[in-house]
Structure 1
Amino acid sequence: MAGFQTAARLHGFGAAPSAQVHVIVPAGSGVPKIQGVAAHEAVLPVSTVVEISGVPCAPAARSAVDLARVLRRMDALPLLDLSLRAGACSRDELLAEVALHARLRGVRQARRLTELADPRAECRQESQLRLLLIDGGLPAPEPQLWVPDQDGVHIYRLDLGYREQRVGVEYDGRSHLDPDRLHHDRSRLNWLAANGWRMRHFTATDLYRRPQHILATLRPLLLAP
């Protein structure tokens, strides 16, 4: 049956692309060597097989937890977030699946990341930025935080935010270079600043090459008396 990255893609949360087709084979049956195919011997039996477009697959929760055990943390959390956002599985299903993987390699990572998974995350970089802040010892930010006006009407939404401290954290990708987007962002930032919000923006260079800069920038805003 399809498993790991291939099953995740079929279930609609293929956040960990792979050039190979990943399949799960029964324990003790031998792992076939086929070009372009990554075969994984099932240490843990797959209780239910799901058919998607005629392809037998491991269930969504099983595929997500299998990947959360073996991927890097920064790749695993975006996948778990997307599995929830896509509706492929629920948090309860993920937690139940993690319990079945007790004592398997990587299960501690999978358990911790499942507890952090959030369907509100809208892109890979938002998930990674959130994990960076948590791993760096900062409070967990709220994804897609809505900021209301004085009448309680939602005005703007932040990638990540700390409501009590009025600190917003945003990932600026290429879409932010669009002229219309720049005009909108300027008006948005002016309104947020006028209403007491301190916004900090970071790019791919910050996230992947100088993560300590992100932590050093936010730590005084969040942990100062």
Structure 2
Amino acid sequence: MSTELWRTDDLVRILTVKRIRTRVSREELLRVRRGVYADQRCGDEDELRALMLCLPEEAMLTRQSAADRYGFGVLRGDLVHVQLPASVPKPRLPGLAVHHSILPVRPVVVGGLPCVPAARCAVDLARTVRRLDALPVLDSAIRSGAVTQDELLAEVSAHRALRGVRQARELVPLADGRAECRQESQLRLILIDGRLPPPEPQLWVHDRDRIPRYRLDLGYRERRIGIEYDGVSHLDRDQLRYDRERVNWLDANGWRMRYFTDRDLYRRPAHIVATMRAALS
């Protein structure tokens, strides 16, 4: 059964103030936020709905909060991000980040809540977050099916003169929905920014019978060079056995593999570029 929410203004139309207080004291009504009550304990989704009831009617979810609902929420944060027209004052509420927009937009209802369109959401993130996080957002947006690259290109053209639009304009053409995780996208961007050829995401390696045998995070097919990001999943014992078997097969079939970790990705990007430049040369 879904949780029902009421504003105080709605309750006083059907109940007296005394009756409202009585129901609250008996926990028949629960205060979710100031001015919003529920008929039962609230989960995260109900808390979000309650917050939206406290905002101006023009408010819609944007950035990380909208991306989560569209299925490309690769960035994490504790704040709820909403967008309002520039003419509407910013409300001050705990846990809320309000972004004014000068560009008109028609909301899209996703899971019962108004959101900026998927392309607007992705481009807004791509122009405002750090570059290393922007490409993973765009890759994931395409992979989720919420938006196409053509839609992103059309959207970014509408953001002329806005802060960070140059970054978004550079990265949208590089977006690739084949990337399966944030770190793969970041590795690819480091190599591109290092002036190396863009590697192919999720590259399948076939055996002599042209049967797909193994899939690599990134790779250069013609040079037979593969690139892998070693994350936590590779520490599992069964995964380690599989990895060793795969490495031996790839080596026996002429593939040269290069492996990188979070230390390389976030502390030594120049090492990644130097290693791959040497491998390619």
Alignment of 1:133-144 (within 5 A): 133-144=191-202
The amino acid across from 2:67 in the alignment is A
Matched, 1:180 2:238: yes
Structure 2 partner of 1:21: 80
1:33 Cα deviation from its structure 2 partner: 2.1
1:218 Cα deviation from its structure 2 partner: 1.1
Structure 1 partner of 2:148: 90
Q: What is the RMSD of the two structures over their aligned residues, measured on CA atoms?
A: 1.0
Structure 2 partner of 1:217: 275
1:61 & 1:193 partners in 2: Cα distance?
42
1:70 & 1:60 partners in 2: Cα distance?
16
1:104 Cα deviation from its structure 2 partner: 1.3
**Which residue, out of 60, 66, 71, partners 1:12?**
71
2:77 & 2:83 partners in 1: Cα distance?
15
Structure 2 partner of 1:66: 124
The amino acid across from 2:215 in the alignment is R
Partner of 1:38, secondary structure, is strand
Matched, 1:114 2:172: yes
Structure 2 partner of 1:199: 257
1:145 & 1:76 partners in 2: Cα distance?
22
Structure 2 partner of 1:45: 104
Matched, 1:127 2:185: yes
Partner of 1:126, secondary structure, is helix
2:88 & 2:179 partners in 1: Cα distance?
40
1:132 Cα deviation from its structure 2 partner: 0.6
2:198 & 2:190 partners in 1: Cα distance?
10
1:64 & 1:18 partners in 2: Cα distance?
16
Partner of 1:45, secondary structure, is coil
Count of residue pairs brought into register by the alignment: 222
1:180 & 1:81 partners in 2: Cα distance?
29
Q: Deviations over 1:194-223 (max 9, x none)?
A: 11110011111111111111111111121x
1:30 Cα deviation from its structure 2 partner: 2.1
The amino acid across from 2:161 in the alignment is R
* Greater C-alpha radius of gyration: 2
Q: Deviations over 1:92-136 (max 9, x none)?
A: 111110011112111111111111111111111111111111111
Structure 2: which 5+ runs fail to align? 1-59
Matched, 1:168 2:226: yes
Partner of 2:145, secondary structure, is coil
1:157 Cα deviation from its structure 2 partner: 0.6
1:57 & 1:182 partners in 2: Cα distance?
42
1:169 Cα deviation from its structure 2 partner: 0.5
The amino acid across from 1:187 in the alignment is E
Partner of 1:64, secondary structure, is helix
Identity %: 63
Structure 2 partner of 1:31: 90
TM norm structure 1: 0.96
Deviating above 6 A after TM superposition, structure 1's stretches of 4 or more consecutive aligned residues are none
1:79 & 1:90 partners in 2: Cα distance?
13
